Structure 1
Amino acid sequence: MKAKLTERRVNLLKPTGRRYDVRDDAVPGLLVRVGPTGHKTYYLDYYDADGKRSKYRIGPADAVSLSDARKEARKRSAEVAGGDNLNEVKRERRRQAEVKQQQVLGVFIDEVYTKWRSAERKRADEDLARLKLHFEHWYELPMTQISEAKVLDWRQDRLIQGMSPKTINRDIACLMAVLSHAVRVEVIPESPLRNFKQLKVDLRERVRFLSSEEEKRLRDYLEAREVSKREGRINHNKFLRSRNLPPKPEIGEGQYYDHTTPLILLAINTGCRPEELLLLEWRDIDFVHRNLTVRGVQSKSSRTRHIPLSAEAIRVAKRWKASPGSNRSGLVFPGAKGQPMDRMPRAITRIITACNLEDFRPYDFRHTFASKLAIAGVDLNTIRELLGHETIQMTLIYAHLTQDHRREAITKVFD
Structure 2
Amino acid sequence: MVNRQKLTEKVLREAIPAEGRDYQIFDTDVRGFAVCIYRGGGRAFTLDYRYAGRQRRMTFGRWPEWSVTAARERAKELRREIDAGGDPLAKRGALREAPRVTDLIERYVEVHLPHLAALNAADQRSMMEKFIGPAWGRMLVTEVSAYDVELLLTKVAEGRARPAKQKPNNRARKLQGAKPTPVRANRVGEVIRKMFAYAIKWGWREDNPAMGFRRRMETPRERYLSQEEISRLAMALDAAQDDRAAGIIRLCMLTGARVGEVRQARFEDFNLEHLSWTKPASTTKQRRVHRVPISDEAAAIVRQRRIAVIKGSPWLFPGDTPGQPVQEIRRFWARIQKDVGIEDVRIHDLRHTFASLLVSGGASLEMIGKLLGHSQMQTTQRYAHLMDSPLRAGVGAVASAFKPKPRLVHNAQPQPADVTHSEASPLIASGA
What is the TM-score with the length of structure 2 in the denominator? 0.61
C-alpha separation in 2, matches of 1:146 and 1:404: 50
* Segment of structure 1 superposing worse, 182-191 or 344-353: 344-353
Q: Quick one: structure 1 residues 190 and 370, their matched pair in 2 at CA, closer, same or farther if it must change by over 3 Å?
A: same
Cross-structure match for 2:254: 269
Does the residue aligned with 1:302 lie in a helix, a strand or coil?
coil
Amino acid at match of 2:223: R
Match of 1:198 in 2: 215
- Offset of residue 198 of structure 1: 2.2
Q: What amino acid does structure 2 have at the position aligned with 1:291? A: S
CA RMSD between the two structures? 3.2
In the other structure, the counterpart of 2:144 is 146
Q: CA deviation at 1:285?
A: 0.7
Name the residue aligned to 2:27.
Answer: none
**Structure 1 residue 342, shift from structure 2 partner:** 4.7
Aligned ranges 1:13-412 → 2 under 5 Å: 78=53, 96=94, 100=98, 102=99, 104-110=100-106, 112-123=107-118, 124-135=121-132, 136-161=134-159, 162-201=179-218, 205=220, 207-225=222-240, 229=241, 257-323=242-308, 325=309, 329-337=313-321, 338-407=323-392
Q: How many Å separate the matches in 2 of 1:98 and 1:284?
A: 53
Q: Contact (CA 8 Å) 2:149, 2:213: kept in 1 or not? A: no
Measured after TM superposition, the shift of residue 97 of structure 1 is: 6.3
- Opposite residue 335 of structure 1, the aligned amino acid is G
> Using a 3 Å threshold, how does the CA distance of structure 1 residues 216 and 352 change in structure 2: closer, same or farther?
same
Distance 1:220-1:383 versus aligned 2 partners, 3 A rule: same
- Measure how far apart 1:187 and its partner are: 2.1
Q: Do the aligned partners of residues 326 and 187 (structure 1) sit closer, same or farther apart at CA in structure 2, a change above 3 Å counting? A: farther
Name structure 2 gaps, 5 residues minimum.
Answer: 1-49, 55-89, 160-178, 401-432
Q: Deviations over 1:308-365 (max 9, x none)?
A: 1111111111112211x45654121222113144544532233223322132111112
The unaligned stretches of length 5 or more in structure 1 are 1-74, 80-91, 230-256
Counterpart contact for 1:260–1:345, Cα < 8 Å: no
- The answer to whether the Cα contact below 8 Å between 1:280 and 1:332 also exists between their aligned partners in 2 is yes
CA distance in 2, matches of 1:373, 1:406: 15
CA distance in structure 2 between the aligned counterparts of 1:388 and 1:191, rounded to whole angstroms: 31
Residues of 1 paired with 2:287 and 2:207: CA distance? Answer: 29
Aligned equivalents of 1:77, 1:141: Cα separation in 2: 32
Instruction: Tell me the matched-pair count.
Output: 296
* Aligned residues of 1:290 and 1:314 also touching (Cα < 8 A): yes
**Greater Cα radius of gyration, structure 1 or 2:** 2
SS of the residue 1:389 aligns to: coil
Paired with 2:398 and 2:221, the residues of 1 have a C-alpha distance of 26
Find the aligned partners of 2:324 and 2:91 in 1 and give their Cα distance.
Answer: 48
Aligned equivalents of 1:292 and 1:341: distance in 2? 19
- Work out the CA distance in 1 between the residues paired with 2:307 and 2:93: 61
> Counterpart in 1 of 2:406?
none
**Normalising by the residue count of structure 1, what TM-score does the alignment of the two structures yield?**
0.64
